[in-house]
Chains A and B, each alone.
Chain A
């Protein structure tokens, strides 16, 4: 096995392990906001590790650039999704998005 293969294997295994840890975190988290934390963590480092593996394997060809585009889209757009989801979850739980009276007194 060459150094090239070792690097690709290590990057893929690291990326997949990161995603699976986020899936595990989704199950063990207690409420929706904790779960949101794990769901958004899955769009940070693991997609870039997998994109790096594709680029090492394919160089800067169409698959490599597409994999990097996917990682960038997930990384840049998911904060908006997290914000919208957290607002919706808070509106459902408290009936409003703004701070409640009890929260203001704290």
Chain B
């Protein structure tokens, strides 16, 4: 394992506290945890792509970066009104 894969592993471990907050805290706190988990997962995928030396894998974190932001915006919109 090189530094890329060690870094990706460490980032994936960092998603665990986000999940704990999402389960235990309020809905607004859970949304914040989801946003942070999206960022961490995106960067973990970047590191995995480099670690496996596959340039084509880099399209996945690009898509996730856009989709997680749009998803968070939609949930925030509904959170204030309906949830």
Contacts and interface: CB of A to CB of B under 8 A. Distances in A.
Nearest to A28: B17
A40 B79 CA distance: 19
Contacts, number: 144
Contacts of B72: 81, 84-85
A1 B26 CA distance: 48
Interface in B35-76: 35-36, 39-40, 42-43, 46-47, 49-50, 55, 58-59, 61-62, 65-66, 69, 72-73, 76
Of the listed residues A16, A47, A51, A53, the one surrounded by the most CB atoms of chain B closer than 10 A to its CB is A16
Indicate the size class of the contact surface on chain B: 35 or more
Interface string A39-52: 10011001100110
A20 B76 contact: no
Interface in A27-75: 27, 31-32, 35-36, 38-39, 42-43, 46-47, 50-51, 53-54, 57-58, 61-63, 66-67, 69-70, 73-74
Interface of A: 8-9, 12-13, 15-16, 19-20, 22-24, 26-27, 31-32, 35-36, 38-39, 42-43, 46-47, 50-51, 53-54, 57-58, 61-63, 66-67, 69-70, 73-74, 77-78, 80-81, 84-85, 87-89, 91-93
Interface of B: 3-4, 7, 10-11, 13-15, 17-18, 20-21, 26-29, 31-33, 35-36, 39-40, 42-43, 46-47, 49-50, 55, 58-59, 61-62, 65-66, 69, 72-73, 76-77, 79-81
Given A70-B65, A81-B35, A85-B28, 4 more contacts: A19-B39, A32-B26, A63-B58, A91-B80
